[in-house]
Amino acid sequence: MLKKTILVVDDEELIRELLVDALSDEFNILSASNGEEALSLYKQHQDEIALVITDLIMPNMRGDELAERLRKLRPTLPIIFISGYEREIETDRLLAGGNSTFLTKPFDVEYLNSTLRTFLM
C-alpha cells in the first residue's frame, strides 16, 4: 500500500523534526519552515499531498493565511492547525470551512495519528 504524503509546516525546527520523526513510519513527509516554503512545496507536490499540518503562529505568514492560500488551490484540502496559544486563537473561524481541526501543543502522538486517520480514511 502506498504511503500518503503529509506536508508539515512549523517555524520551530525541533517541533518540525519531532513531527517528521513521529509520522515518517506511516506517511511520506514533506516539511517546511514557513508559509512561503510550504506554498512552494505544495505547488510542486499538490497531486501527492493528502493533508497539511501547520503551526498557526509563524512569522511572515500565519498558518491561517497559509490555509486560505492553499484552499484557493484545493478547497477540500484537509488541514490540521497546531499551536501552543489556544487562548489567542479564534478556532471557530479557522474551522468554519470544514475539513480541518485544531490541536493544542503539546499533544500526544497517538492522538495526532488517530486524528490523521480520521481525515485520511
Q: Domain ranges for the chain, please list them.
A: 5-120
What is the average per-residue pLDDT within 19-31? Answer: 96
Mean pLDDT across the chain: 90
Question: Can you identify the CATH homologous superfamily of domain 5-120?
Answer: Response regulator (3.40.50.2300)
| 109 three-class SS | helix
Is 70 exceeded by the pLDDT of residue 90? Answer: no
Which DSSP string corresponds to 21-89? HHHTTTSEEEEESSHHHHHHHHHHHTTTEEEEEEESS-SSS-HHHHHHHHHHH-TT--EEEEES-GGG-
Burial of 90 (0-12, 13-18, 19+ CB in 10 A): exposed
Q: Would you state the pLDDT for residue 91?
A: 63
Per-residue pLDDT reduced to its tens digit, 66-85: 999 999 999 999 999 998 87
Per-residue pLDDT reduced to its tens digit, 97-118: 678 998 988 899 899 999 999 9
Give residues with Cβ within 8 angstroms of 33, minimum separation 6: 9, 10, 11, 13, 16
Per-residue pLDDT reduced to its tens digit, 40-50: 999 999 999 99
At 107, give phi and psi (nearest 5°).
-130, 160
